Amino acid sequence: MTQSPWQPISPPKPPRPAKAPLTRERIVDAAMRLLVDHGYDAVSMRKVAQELGTGQASLYAHVANKSELDQLLVNRAAEQMEFPAEPDPERWQEQLKDCMREMLRVMRANPGVARAAIGQVPLGEQALLSTEKFLAILKAGNLPDQAAAWAVDLIPLYVTAVSFEETVQSASAWTPADLEGYVGRMRSYFEGLPADRFPLTLALAGALTSGSGGDERFEFGISVITAGLASLAEKP
Amino acid sequence: MTQSPWQPISPPKPPRPAKAPLTRERIVDAAMRLLVDHGYDAVSMRKVAQELGTGQASLYAHVANKSELDQLLVNRAAEQMEFPAEPDPERWQEQLKDCMREMLRVMRANPGVARAAIGQVPLGEQALLSTEKFLAILKAGNLPDQAAAWAVDLIPLYVTAVSFEETVQSASAWTPADLEGYVGRMRSYFEGLPADRFPLTLALAGALTSGSGGDERFEFGISVITAGLASLAEKP
DNA sequence: ACCTGAACACCGTTCAAGT
DNA sequence: ACCTGAACACCGTTCAAGT
């Protein structure tokens, strides 16, 4: 390669390369940014490419398809989960519930990640490390192998479904006041049902619409699951 | 209205009107047909309109949007569920499990309906009638009102999530042989993990990949939920 | 009042052509 | 080998124009 004489000193290297090379890492970074800032619907191949200043076709050199990108997002979120170091047979049930709370916390902190996770078996490294953690706690609780194995399937299924439901409902960007209005309308709807065919729905209208906003429903769910699992523990 | 003399006997009504008028009912019929025959992805406003020989914009005169059409599909499927007539306090747990099995049966018979149902609170008439049925069984089991109310939220959440997972996985139209191959590869993957960081995942590789095809995982899930709920029953 | 064609603003994925 | 523009075959929804 020849140097032209009127440009005797060419910059040894451009101070910053105009474009950092595209990598899986950078793609997931950009996708995660879009997810957190603008929700799951904003994570399209087009918008991720745009965020990186490239064409959408370029992504396919590093990521097989959208579904793989979704899996990578789930795995990235899993990195944020912090689980207790030492499984304790004395309080495994409380530890199990704490882990489920932690899963939900991280899913809420990355709104929309549940939509990437739902229906997929999480097989990334970080996701598997949380599986390992759950297995340790369940074995500390003396669950039979098969029960522990199926439980680590059931647990993310439940937590992901709860988070998914939340993101669908908050997709309309609800304020707490909106939520209250919605819950009120739903209660009125239940209370207006014909009493002959819906006696219980009508009688329990209050209970059915209670705990829609906060964590009570979720706390109920993880208690039911934990109690159900505990009933399967082997008595030594 | 005058009769022209050279056509003294006009057909009282055209034997079949060239086009039956568009109704909600007919729209849901067509959508359901597409769902069962070609899966959830085939249920688009365009294809439903095509199936009815009309333009997609015409649908919006009868259905608010795609999400409402999804809800109507879920409700239509709910019509096919058959629940026991008489809640029996002696065997409410078995009845509860039977109802969950029936929910899954109908969702499997209408493949893809889980994808229309997930994340939505089912408020159609038929869906509410099944809620009513579940409440009756739970009250027969002596559950407190609030527990029964949250349970009828938890139960469809779980069954729908299971069915959703199945439809996602069978979206690639797997034969039993394909499934076996996939499960085998997954087991090999688990067994190849580094033993220092994934000791339990490795040790339980067999259990973790067992019951992927049939009903064992689902049976485990409904047993856990039922046992957990039973632990909340009020002792009179 | 109901229906329609055409358009708008999006998708995921592929592919020939560039460097 | 990696990247790109442009295209393909789709989406849900809207709207002015028809009957």
Q: Strand C closer than 7 Å to the CB of B172? A: no
pLDDT for position B4: 38
Q: For A202-228, how does the pLDDT look when each residue is reduced to its tens digit (9 = 90+)?
A: 999 999 999 877 799 999 999 999 999
Contact B68/A at CB under 8 A: no
Å between B56 CA and nearest CA of chain A:
23
Q: Which residues of A69-85 are buried (b: 16+ CB within 10 A; e: fewer)?
A: bbbbbbbbbbeebebee
The average pLDDT across B183-204 equals: 94
Q: From the alpha carbon of B45, which nucleotide's C1' atom is closest?
A: D12
Q: Tell me how far apart the alpha carbons of residues B55 and A22 are, in angstroms, rounded to a whole number.
A: 43
Q: Tell me how far apart the alpha carbons of residues B156 and B132 are, in angstroms, rounded to a whole number.
A: 13
pLDDT for position A96: 98
Residues of A in contact with B160 (CB under 8 A): 161
Q: Cα B120 to the chain's mean position, in Å? A: 11
pLDDT for position A183: 87
User: Which of chain D's bases lie under 7 Å from a protein CB?
Assistant: 2-7, 10-16
Instruction: Mention every residue, 6+ apart, whose C-beta is less than 8 A from residue B29.
Output: none
Q: In angstroms, what CA-CA distances link A175 with A36, A105, A207, B121, B225?
A: 18, 19, 22, 19, 33
Q: Tell me how far apart the alpha carbons of residues A188 and A209 are, in angstroms, rounded to a whole number.
A: 10
Q: Strand D closer than 7 Å to the CB of A50? A: no
Domains, chain B, ranges and CATH?
Answer: 24-63 (1.10.10.60), 82-230 (1.10.357.10)
How big is the A-B interface in CB pairs under 8 Å? 151
Instruction: Mention every residue, 6+ apart, whose C-beta is less than 8 A from residue A132.
Output: B197, B198, B199, B200, B201
- HEC profile of chain A: CCCCCCCCCCCCCCCCCCCCCCCHHHHHHHHHHHHHHHCHHHCCHHHHHHHCCCCHHHHCCCCCCHHHHHHHHHHHHHCCCCCCCCCCHHHHHHHHHHHHHHHHHHHHHCCCHHHHHCCCCCCCHHHHHHHHHHHHHHHHCCCCHHHHHHHHHHHHHHHHHHHHHHHHHHHHCCCHHHHHHHHHHHHHHHHCCCCCCCHHHHHCHHHHCCCCCCCHHHHHHHHHHHHHHHCCCCCC
A 173-212 residues with CB < 8 A to B: 186, 189, 193, 197-201, 204, 207-208, 210-211
CB contact under 8 A, B161 and A165: no
Q: Tell me how far apart the alpha carbons of residues B130 and B173 are, in angstroms, rounded to a whole number.
A: 31
pLDDT for position A233: 95
Question: For each of chain A's 236 residues, which pLDDT tens digit applies?
Answer: 333 333 433 333 333 344 678 999 999 999 999 999 999 999 999 999 999 999 999 999 999 999 999 999 999 999 999 998 899 999 999 999 999 999 999 999 999 999 999 988 889 999 999 999 999 999 999 999 999 999 999 999 999 999 999 998 876 656 777 778 888 888 999 999 999 999 999 999 999 999 877 799 999 999 999 999 999 998 76
Query: Which chain A residue has its CA at the smallest distance from B208's CA?
Result: A149
Å between B213 CA and nearest CA of chain A:
13
- Mutation site, A201, A209, A212, A216, interface B, largest B CB count within 10 A: A201
pLDDT for position A173: 58
pLDDT for position A170: 76
Q: B16 falls in which pLDDT band (50, 70, 90)?
A: very low
Query: Which chain A residue has its CA at the smallest distance from B140's CA?
Result: A200
pLDDT for position B175: 73
